[in-house]
């Protein structure tokens, strides 16, 4: 249900060939009784790790019967049993793993019945109930389309759909209230969206004040339905999906807003050490992968307060070093910090200092005259941005990151790029690569009159949009 086909195919290609299994006799565990094709094949058990999946065990079926011993199960979570990459289905396990699953594999792979442990049985019934509701909803939709010109029929269909929706909501609520089956109840609750309280609206339904109230409520309460003390949630996709939705769909895409919100979520996750490790590491990775300018600042905040804090064991030694090196690399050039001064030389070997520039805004572009992308961007920056904004209080400094003067000046003269500050590090003592984290070129920075970094790693059009907004 939850796993994409590509993940299963990857699992079989990369893991299955290396996985060695034996026939295991066990009196307790997951007993599978298979009807249909594959009665003498191997049966596999895997567990979710967020959106990923890990292979745990296999057993050789004999005349359609096999038992996966309970000592190979990692704990409460969402698991998957399958015969191959096309025949598989999810099962939920709580703290009791002694159960029997009847499966049919003639067409696809369908669980017909689950007996034994309470939570897997409840999950099986829950899935069937929702599938029945989905089938009914599909039927009503077809009827709605068929009778769309008949007002009486449409009204009746709407009533039936409303009743179905109310019935499903009532059923889900009843399952969440099953406190004696903690992981099942917490899992179901975690799959449900957080609703806005009616008291939030007041008299207004659509205005900016209401939007702000809604945003702040969701920012602070989006994880109210997540039991961070139940580490079984890391063995399912549901926690990771909530984290991703919060980061990508709920929060305003500004690092200064995202950073404190993610740190708040990480603090909540400390209710359980396994959950904390999963949440902190996932949000750290997401912060650097999310394509929002300035997110490296969030990366530094999360790492400094969690992964790199003394006494923490969230990372192994290899990844700890990688994260520490990344933090040290990006810290000097974060958005909002004062850019490091550069004392460089122009084409006439005269000294030029960044801090001596007098504009209200300063555009820095680091480039290499042998870089193909640079050869396109620098002339574009010159013709579009420099010619438009130079007289508007914006100065430009184009920094050659190499020391091959001949290729540099030849390109400048050939493209007639001579009116702005063309500079390079003649003596190799500026440490520009360190202070501006130059690992690739071209790289554009925008600084304000205090030499603080306003924007970075942007293209020419984005630079012009920002300048247009700032200057107006």
What's the rounded mean pLDDT across residues 121-144? 94
Q: What is the mean pLDDT of the chain?
A: 90
CA distances in angstroms from 424 to 26, 403, 427, 435, 442, listed in the order given: 73, 7, 9, 15, 14
Residue 381's pLDDT band, with cuts at 50, 70 and 90, is: very high
420: DSSP letter: S
Q: Where are the domains of the chain?
A: 5-116, 124-190, 223-333, 343-471
- The pLDDT tens digits for 16-75 are 333 333 333 334 789 999 999 889 899 999 999 999 999 999 999 999 999 988 888 999
Looking at residue 180, its pLDDT comes to 60
Token readout for 137 is 């909803």
Gyration radius (Cα) of the chain, Å: 30
Estimate the crossing angle of helix 273-289 against helix 295-305, to 10 degrees: 160
What is the per-residue DSSP string for 421-468? EEEE-TTS-S-HHHHTT-SSS-EEEEE-TT-BEEEES--HHHHHHHHH
Q: Which residue has the tokens 């508007």?
A: 392
Looking at residue 21, its pLDDT comes to 33
What's the rounded mean pLDDT across residues 432-458? 96
Looking at residue 45, its pLDDT comes to 93
Pairing of strands 87-93, 77-84: antiparallel
What's the rounded mean pLDDT across residues 342-371? 96
Fold of 343-471: Glutaredoxin (3.40.30)
Q: Do 343-471 and 5-116 have the same topology in CATH?
A: no
Residue 5's pLDDT band, with cuts at 50, 70 and 90, is: very low
Q: How far apart are CA 309 and CA 301, in angstroms?
A: 11
CATH class name, domain 5-116: mainly beta
Looking at residue 10, its pLDDT comes to 39
Token readout for 208 is 């900016």
């Amino acid at each position: 249900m939850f796993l994409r086909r590509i993940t299963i195919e990857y699992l079989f290609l990369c893991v299955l060939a290396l996985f060695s299994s034996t026939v295991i006799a066990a009196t307790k565990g997951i007993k599978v009784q298979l009807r249909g094709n594959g009665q003498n094949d191997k049966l596999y058990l895997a567990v979710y790790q967020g959106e990923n999946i890990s292979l745990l065990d296999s057993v050789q079926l004999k005349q359609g019967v096999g038992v996966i011993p309970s000592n190979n199960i990692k704990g409460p979570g969402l698991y998957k049993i399958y015969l191959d990459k096309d025949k598989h289905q999810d099962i939920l396990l709580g703290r009791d793993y002694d159960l029997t699953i009847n499966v049919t594999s003639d067409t696809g792979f369908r669980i017909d019945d689950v007996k034994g442990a309470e939570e897997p049985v409840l999950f099986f019934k829950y899935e069937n109930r929702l599938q029945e509701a989905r089938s009914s909803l599909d039927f009503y939709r077809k009827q709605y389309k068929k009778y769309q010109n008949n007002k009486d029929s449409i009204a009746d269909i709407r009533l039936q759909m409303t009743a179905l929706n109310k019935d499903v909501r009532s059923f889900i609520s009843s399952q969440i209230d099953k406190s004696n089956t903690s992981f099942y109840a917490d899992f179901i609750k975690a799959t449900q969206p957080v609703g806005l309280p009616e008291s939030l609206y007041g008299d207004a339904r659509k205005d900016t004040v209401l939007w702000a109230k809604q945003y702040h409520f969701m920012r602070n309460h989006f994880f109210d339905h997540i039991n961070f003390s139940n580490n079984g949630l890391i063995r399912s996709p549901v926690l990771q999906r909530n984290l991703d939705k919060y980061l990508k769909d709920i929060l305003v895409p500004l690092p200064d807003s995202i950073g404190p919100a993610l740190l708040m979520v990480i603090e909540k996750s400390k209710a359980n050490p396994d959950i904390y490790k999963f949440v902190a590491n996932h949000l750290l990775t997401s912060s650097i992968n999310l394509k929002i300018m300035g997110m490296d600042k969030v990366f530094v905040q999360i790492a400094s307060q969690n992964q790199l804090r003394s006494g923490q064991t969230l990372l192994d030694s290899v990844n700890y070093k990688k994260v520490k090196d990344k933090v040290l690399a990006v810290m000097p050039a974060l958005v909002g910090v004062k850019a490091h001064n550069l004392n460089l030389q122009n084409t006439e070997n005269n000294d030029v200092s960044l801090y001596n520039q007098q504009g209200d805004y300063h555009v820095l572009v680091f480039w290499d005259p042998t870089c193909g992308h640079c050869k396109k961007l620098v002339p574009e920056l010159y013709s579009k941005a420099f010619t438009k904004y130079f007289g508007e209080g914006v100065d430009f400094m184009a920094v050659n990151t190499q020391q091959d003067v001949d290729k540099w000046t030849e390109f400048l003269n050939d493209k007639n790029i001579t009116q702005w500050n063309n500079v390079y590090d003649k003596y190799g003592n500026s440490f520009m690569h360190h202070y501006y984290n130059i690992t690739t070129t071209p790289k554009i920075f925008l600084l304000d009159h205090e030499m603080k970094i306003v924007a970075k790693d942007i293209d020419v059009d984005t630079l012009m949009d920002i300048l247009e907004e700032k200057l107006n």
